[in-house]
Amino acid sequence: MNSNYSSSNLSKIKPKLRTEGNVTGNFGKNKVKAGSSLNSIGMTTKETLHPLTTQDQYIKRMYEAFDKADSPKLKKFIYNEIKMYLIKTNQWK
């Protein structure tokens, strides 16, 4: 076989210079708009949000949950939450 490529058909194939079409920079795929397909759901407004829980409500719920907690890990978490609140409000003894 001849190692000279000038006589083979491979040397005669020239890459086509791209002079037409869109330059997408996206590996030949069409450009698409970025973003979620869920955009039509709507924006969050103040009216759609639930009211935030106050610290007093949170601590009340923590005390109720502490009585109902069945695992030591959960009781430890609730105890630490109550403790941090009491320290923050200068009620921890």
Closest C-alpha among 52, 56, 87 to residue 79: 87
What pLDDT score does 64 carry? 95
DSSP state of 27: T
Reduced to 3 states (helix: H, G, I; strand: E, B; else coil), residue 91 is coil
* pLDDT per residue as tens digits for the range 16-75: 666 666 655 666 666 666 666 666 666 677 776 677 788 999 999 999 999 999 999 999
- Give dist(CA 42, CA 53) in Å, integer: 24
53 φ/ψ sector (left φ>0, alpha ψ -120 to 50, else beta): beta
Is the distance from CB of 81 to CB of 87 less than 8 angstroms? Answer: no
pTM above 0.75, yes or no: no
